[in-house]
A and B are shown apart, each in its own frame.
Chain A
C-alpha cells in the first residue's frame, strides 16, 4: 500500500505552481473570515477562524449545518476566496494566490473526496481515478496503469472497467478515495464522505482513509456530522456560527483515536 502511494512517478506535464514548505504546518489559518453579500444582508460565514493542521494528521471538522465547515474547507482548498485574515496551505498564502495559479496548486497538492462521490458516470472506475493524472498530463495508458494500482489498494481490483452506476455507494466512495490519492497530494479534503453510506460501509471507508493517510503520511481534513466515525480522527475541531468552539460533551463525541503521529492538542 505505502509503496504504491509513495512511488508515484512524476507526471510529464509542467511543474504545477508551488512546493510545500518544509517544517510548516500543512494548514494554518489565523483570523480567517468569509462574508457573503454586503450591508444588511451580509452573511458572516466565518468569523475569525484559527486552525492548524499538522503533517500526517487526520483532522475532523464537526458542527451543525450552516456553521461554516464547508466554507472553511472550500477556502483551504482554494476553490473559494476568503474575505480576511490569513490562510496558509503548505506555506502558500491562499488568500493572496493569483487565480491563475490555483488550478495547478490544487492539482499538485490537494485531493478531494465528496459527499456525493462526484464520479463521472461515463468513465470506468479506473478512468475516474485517472482524472487528476490526465489533467496533470499523464499519458492515458500510464494513468490507467497507475489507476489499477490504486484501485487494488482500495480493494477494487476487480472493478477496474466497471462504470460507477454498477458500483455500490461504498465502492463508489472508495473509487473517489483512490482518485483523491492519485496525484499523491499533501492534503486531502473530504466533505461528508460517509453521509451517503450505511454505518458499516462508512466506517470501512473512514478506516481506509485513515489507513492510506497514515501510511503515506498525508494530512486529511474530514468535514462530518457522523459521530460514528469520530474515533478515526487524530483530532476533532468543532465549529459553530463561523467560529471554532470547544468540543461538545464527551457523550456526543467519542475520544479521537491516538496514533503514533504527533498531533497537537484538541483545539478549543
Chain B
C-alpha cells in the first residue's frame, strides 16, 4: 500500500515540487528567523557567559541589564568580601572607548578591565596567546570577531588583514599592545571587546571618580547561591544576582523593551501560515485529483486505516523533503554570513520540525476528511 502511495505521490511531480517549495520556504522562515532572534538575544547576556567563574554578580540596584552598568565606588568591593559565605570577590570594569588602529582608523570598542591579580573575568578561551600575557606591560586581548571585522586593517593593495598579536592600538592616548586574540560571545552592539587589567583599564578610560562596574563574587563550597545573594543584598545595599538570574534579567529587558520577539515571531508565524496554506491547498488538490483512485481502493477493500497511512505517508514525506531543504537553506545562509553568527540549537530545529509536522497534519486531515467521506460507489460513475 505504501508503494502505491509513494508512486502516486511522485507521479504528480509538479504538485510535489509545489508542496516541497511551500514547506521549504516555511521551514526556512521557521528556522532562520527564530535562530537569528535567539542569536541576537543571546548577545544580550554573552558577557555574563564569557565571565564564567563567579557565582554572583553584584551591582548598583538600578542596573537593569548587563550593558546598563552603573559605576560603583571601590569601597563596595570590601563590603562584598566581608559578607559571610563569600569565597572571593573581584572587581570588573566595563566602558566604551575609542581605539585608534595601526592604520590610523578609529573604532569604538567595549573596554573590559579584569582583576589585576587573579585575572578573573578574562576570556576563558584564547584563539591565540595566553591569559597570563595580560600581565605584560600595555597588554590587551581583543575578541576574535572584533579583530576580524571592525579592527581589520586595510592594506595598501586594498585587502583587509585582521588585527594580530603584536599590533599596537592607541586607547585614549595610551599604548595598548595586542598580546592575545580571545574567543568570546558577540556583543549586542557588535562592538569589538578589548580586555586588559582593571588598573590599566582605568588609565585607558576617561577619568571617573567611580569606576567599578560590577563585583564578581564566588560562594564558598556548599553555600546556597541564592541565599548568599540575598545576604549580599541585605548587608551591602547593592543588588546581587546569581549569574543565571542576571542573564534572565538582561534577556527579558531586551525582550520587553524592543520589538524583537514580536517582529521575529510575526515573520515566523507568517512562514508557518504561508507554508500551511500553500502546502495544504496543494495537498488537498493532489488528493482531489486522486479521489477516483482512492474510491477504487475503497471499493476493492482498502480499510480506512490503510487510506490514513497512505495520506499520512504522502504528507510527511513531502514535509520531510521540504524541511530538509528549508533547514539546509537556513544553514547555508548562516554559513555565508561572516558578520553575524547564527546558532541552530537542537531545540530550535525541533521547533521548526514541529511546525512542519503541524502543517503536514493539517494538510493530511483536510485531505483525509475528503477521502474517508468518499462513497466507494463513486467508482461506478463514468
Q: Which chain A residues have a beta carbon within 8 Å of chain B's beta carbons?
A: 16, 70, 73-74, 77, 79-80, 103-108, 110, 112, 114-116, 118, 120-123, 127, 131-132, 134-136, 140, 191-192, 195
Contacts and interface: CB of A to CB of B under 8 A. Distances in A.
Given A120-B4, A122-B10, A192-B382, A131 B297 contact: yes
Interface string B5-30: 00110111000000000000000000
B299 A122 contact: no
B300 A135 contact: yes
Contacts of A123: 4, 7-8, 11
User: What is the predominant secondary structure among interface residues of chain B facing chain A?
Assistant: helix
Interface stretch (B68-76, B221-229, B250-258, B372-380): B372-380
A193 B320 CA distance: 41
Enumerate the 3 nearest inter-chain pairs by beta-carbon distance, A residue then B residue, closest first: A122-B11, A107-B301, A79-B376
Interface string B299-311: 1111110100000
Contacts of B302: 103, 107, 135
B126 interface: no
A80 B375 CA distance: 8
Contacts of B297: 131, 135
A105 to B, nearest CB: 8
A79 B379 contact: yes
A131 B1 CA distance: 8
B382 A116 contact: yes
Given A70-B380, A122-B11, A104 B301 contact: yes
* Interface residue tally on B, bucketed by range: 20 to 34
B293 A118 contact: yes
Contacts of B155: none
25 contacts: A74-B377, A77-B299, A79-B298, A79-B299, A79-B380, A103-B303, A106-B300, A107-B301, A107-B302, A108-B301, A110-B301, A115-B382, A120-B8, A120-B296, A122-B10, A123-B4, A123-B7, A131-B4, A131-B297, A132-B300, A135-B1, A135-B297, A135-B301, A135-B306, A191-B380
B298 A122 contact: no
A50 to B, nearest CB: 22
Given A120-B8, A120-B293, A123-B8, A114 B300 contact: no
Contact of A136 (B8, B301, B377): B301
B369 interface: no
Given A118-B296, A134-B4, 6 more contacts: A73-B380, A104-B303, A107-B300, A122-B10, A131-B4, A140-B3
